[in-house]
Amino acid sequence: MDTTTDSGSNAQADRPERLDRRLLIERLSSYWLIGAGLFAVALFALIVLTLVQQSIPIVSEHSLLEMLTSSNWDPASEEFGYLPAIVGTIYVTVLSMAMGTPIAILAAIYIAEYAEGRMKVIVSSFIDVLAAIPSVIFGLVGLIVVVPFVGDYLAPALGTHSIGLGIVTVSLVMAIIVTPFMISLTVESLEALPDELREASLGVGATKWETIRSVLLRAAGPGIFSAILLGFGRVFGATIVPAMLIGGQTAIPESPFDAGETLPSLIVNDFGELMSIPLTQSALIFVGLLLLVIVWLFNFGAMLVRRRLQRRWQY
């Protein structure tokens, strides 16, 4: 702007052209953004429509209720009971979240509120590195370490029997995968809290632990809740680790040490093999649709809960 006075009439001629160019870019950029947005929506619609369309054969031949409650999965004899995989999914999700969540929250509190200086840097970068390891590597390590551990030590120690592959093994490995991820997110939401909250609580004579328990965990509550849900989503949709470690057994597991199947691992383990059997492909795609719908419902419920928490625990 300073130069306009110096360069006189030249600037007058310059300006509209420059302005035109800027306005053109402005308009183009909005087209681009709208285009990208529409593309994402279209892609999404395409996925859902494909799943629905491909699921039609199975739902028109078999009753939905029957498939969801039957424990007999045997495509060769046209039996498509999803219950074993549903039970397996619930088992794995509940077990690994039950192991991972408390550890994640405690570790996050340590990192965000207690660790100092180098220790903090070392621990949190270690956690970040863990969170970034591809799950197939955890699957491999699970095969080499966790499978014999469960089969040879843990199961006998608990007075039961396991071939090593099974629900407990998957749950342990999934807990190891998902915990660093939840730690990172929880640390983030604790560290995002303003120091004033700590000062306000410490400033009336609360101890550090009282401050964490009754102030910081609440204030960060919606964020921590999201961290847990994202962790939950990862376990629920986990594919490669269950496929590698669950033992591929389509019967309802009697104990968590049994082999089993989860919904995603059912898709992976059966898709290639059983394609020649009629309806199998449709049955498996329907599993995919089921996963999608459950995740949606869950996210929707989570959003409602989160809103409530945000109102209740605002600061």
66 vs 199 by CB, closer to other proteins: 199
End-to-end CA distance of the chain: 44
Contact positions with other proteins (CB under 8 A) in 219-258: 219, 221
CA distances from 259 to 65, 74, 97, 168, 248 (A): 25, 17, 19, 9, 7
From 90, 131, 202, 240, residue interacting with other proteins (rule: CB under 8 A): 202
Which of 274, 286, 119, 114 has its CA nearest to residue 208? 114
129 vs 305 by CB, closer to other proteins: 305
123 vs 200 by CB, closer to other proteins: 200
Would you say 185 and 110 are in contact if contact means Cβ atoms under 8 Å apart? no
CA distances from 97 to 146, 159, 178, 216, 285 (A): 18, 24, 8, 22, 27
From 2, 17, 26, 254, residue interacting with other proteins (rule: CB under 8 A): 2
Contact positions with other proteins (CB under 8 A) in 206-225: 206-207, 210, 214-215, 218-219, 221
315 binds other proteins, rule: CB under 8 A:
yes
Specify the residue for token string 């089993």: 260
What's the min distance (Å) between Cβ of 124 and other proteins?
14
Q: Give the x/- contact pattern for other proteins in 112-131, rule: CB under 8 A.
A: ----xx--------------
16 vs 205 by CB, closer to other proteins: 205
From 171, 198, 231, 283, residue interacting with other proteins (rule: CB under 8 A): 198
> Between vectors from CA 242 to CA 238 and to CA 247, what angle results, nearest 5°?
165
What's the min distance (Å) between Cβ of 189 and other proteins?
13
- Cα–Cα distance between 212 and 197 in angstroms, integer? 10
221 vs 237 by CB, closer to other proteins: 221
What's the min distance (Å) between Cβ of 201 and other proteins?
6
314 binds other proteins, rule: CB under 8 A:
yes
8 binds other proteins, rule: CB under 8 A:
no
Contact positions with other proteins (CB under 8 A) in 135-194: 194
What's the min distance (Å) between Cβ of 195 and other proteins?
7
271 vs 313 by CB, closer to other proteins: 313
- Cα–Cα distance between 172 and 113 in angstroms, integer? 27
200 binds other proteins, rule: CB under 8 A:
yes
205 binds other proteins, rule: CB under 8 A:
yes
161 vs 312 by CB, closer to other proteins: 312
Sign of torsion over alpha carbons 271, 276, 281, 284: negative
Amino acid at 252: I
Give SS3 for 73.
strand
Binding positions for other proteins, rule: CB under 8 A: 2, 116-117, 194-207, 210, 214-215, 218-219, 221, 311-315
